[in-house]
Structure 1
Amino acid sequence: MTVEAVTPAWMHQQITAAEYESWSAEQCAGIEIVDGMVVVSPSASKRHNRLARILANALDAAGGPDWNADTDFDVRLQDVPLTNRRPDVVVYRADTIDVIPTRPEHVLLVVEVVSPGSETTDRIVKVDQYAKAGIVFYWRVEQTATGVPLIYTYILDPATRTYRTGEMHTGVVKASAPFATEIDLAEG
């Protein structure tokens, strides 16, 4: 029996935006689409999800009425070939809450919490994709053996469409951009 015989056809061919939009929320959960191909993500740990939730709640409060922060939805980076990423936290314009798909021009900040198996993607691949899409801020949260996370912040250089390294925080994020906020992740 071949691999193709035991796995769905969509795992072996590029899908279009129209095909993806016809799928149910259950079919879209736990996947990203990269260059039209489905990429299945393993379930995140409880610690990973807690860090994302703490960040989303704090950024949502700091963003005021103009910005929302949330978890677990797609950001459409490009239509052809289809590339949808599902950042751990997305800060987006509040007036686009009902606009689907969420596009880079709606997004101010994305956060990725690095987990075993996502190291290269979160540290290299997504950084490049988010920068080329024009998302102004990128934060990467590294989980450590001590349990106190390291947070790396990046800001877009619009001329080169690459990120410049910002500040690094240990356990507590004291950021002035994109909002003045203090977020204690040491308890995450």
Structure 2
Amino acid sequence: MTADMIAPEWMHTPITAAQYDSWSPEQCRGIEIVDGMVVVSPSASKRHNRLARFLANALDAAASPEWNADTDFDVRLQDVPLTNRRPDVVVYRADTIDITPTRPEHVLLVVEVVSPGSETTDRIVKMEQYAKAGISFYWRVEQTANGVPLVYTYVLDPAAGLYRDSDVFTDIVKTAVPFPLEISLSSI
């Protein structure tokens, strides 16, 4: 059995930004591109999706009119080799709503909800990639056994190109950055 019989060609050959941009939305759903290689993401759980939507709605409501919060679209971290990530929640400049691809300079905050199988990627890999791309804020949401998530917040140190620990929230997220926000995690 050869690799061609196991996976389509595009899964084991690097792709370019131009190739990816020619794909349909259906072809791009459920994947990310890392260093030109397709990475297939398993479908998220209902709890994961609900948590992401809840946070996106709360962030969108709290943000000034200059910012939107949404889910389920790519952020193009680099063109060569192509790296597209699909954060669970993105807070982006409202005036870029019709610009594709969304680039790091359009983004204020990304949120990743950690699920079984994404622990290392969300805790280490994506955190480093988002920092290197210059995205100012990163939130990592850990699901817990009691159902009330923990929210770890990070702020970019641009001189070091790394995120610095900020706050960890349980039950209530109350922060002034990147804008004032207070939400109850237990209501999810």
Residues 54, 185 of structure 1: 8 Å contact kept: no
Amino-acid identity (%): 77
Question: Which residues of 2 match residues 1-188 of structure 1 at below 5 A?
Answer: 1-188=1-188
Give the letter aligned to residue 116 of structure 1. P
Cα distance in structure 1, aligned partners of 2:171 and 2:52 = 13
Deviations for 1:36-68, whole angstroms, at most 9, x for unmatched residues?
A: 000000000011001100110011111121000
Deviations for 1:60-89, whole angstroms, at most 9, x for unmatched residues?
A: 111121000000000000000000000000
Q: How many equivalent pairs are there?
A: 188
Give the letter aligned to residue 71 of structure 1. T
Q: TM-score, normalised on structure 2?
A: 0.98
By how many angstroms is 1:184 displaced?
1.6
- Ranges in structure 1 where 5+ consecutive residues have no aligned partner: none
Further displaced range: 2-11 or 157-166: 2-11
Cα distance in structure 1, aligned partners of 2:125 and 2:103 = 18
Q: TM-score, normalised on structure 1?
A: 0.98
Cα distance in structure 2, aligned partners of 1:10 and 1:28 = 12
Cα distance in structure 2, aligned partners of 1:171 and 1:141 = 12
Deviations for 1:142-161, whole angstroms, at most 9, x for unmatched residues?
A: 00111110000000001011
Give the letter aligned to residue 115 of structure 1. S
Cα distance in structure 1, aligned partners of 2:14 and 2:4 = 14
Misfit runs of 4+, over 3 Å = none
Cα distance in structure 1, aligned partners of 2:124 and 2:97 = 29
By how many angstroms is 1:172 displaced?
1.8
Residues 68, 91 of structure 1: 8 Å contact kept: yes
- Ranges in structure 2 where 5+ consecutive residues have no aligned partner: none
C-alpha RMSD over aligned residues:
0.7
Give the letter aligned to residue 57 of structure 2. N
By how many angstroms is 1:171 displaced?
2.2
Cα distance in structure 1, aligned partners of 2:169 and 2:49 = 19
Cα distance in structure 1, aligned partners of 2:6 and 2:132 = 36
Cα distance in structure 2, aligned partners of 1:118 and 1:172 = 24
